[in-house]
Amino acid sequence: MRTILCILMLGALALVAAPDTNVTGKWSGSFKMTRSDGETSDGPALLLLKQAGSEITGSVGPTQDEQHAITKGKIEGEKISLLVEDDGRTIKFALLLAADRITGDADVSHEGETAKAKIDVTRAK
């Protein structure tokens, strides 16, 4: 009886300790980019994500028509890291998940130029 009770308690603790976080889906919002020369630009951001365990795949870009494949992606707790390597461009994302909102930073490098971006997206309904 004691063994069964311990197993049930451990199972309940496991459910509480491992919240159901799944970022699979469409996330839309905005980005604000600052280039190394100080020039800024704003635009739309669209993340199409698929989560399997801690691995994230999918694509990112400004619109549905302009997407770039995620080379490597993972989620650990509320921290999301994504890497996009496409056509000589490298983008490293360091993001945080809070409910149905993902915010964070992206570092962009392309042909010797660098830029930083702030990302703010919410889960599309």
- Secondary structure (3-state) at 36: coil
pLDDT tens digits for the chain (125 residues)?
Answer: 454 433 434 443 343 334 468 999 999 999 999 999 999 999 999 999 999 999 999 999 999 999 999 999 999 999 999 999 998 999 999 999 998 999 999 999 999 999 999 999 999 97
Q: Which residues pair with 81 in a beta bridge?
A: 74, 94
Neighbours of 121 (CB within 10 A): 23
Q: Which residue intervals of the chain are DSSP H helices? A: 2-17
Please enumerate in sequence order all residues whose Cβ is within 8 A of that of 93, keeping only pairs 6 or more positions apart, or say none.
Answer: 60, 80, 81, 82, 83, 84, 104, 105, 106, 119
1.20.1050.40, 3.40.430.10, 2.40.128.120, 3.40.1390.20: CATH of 21-123? 2.40.128.120
Domain spans of the chain, in order of start:
21-123
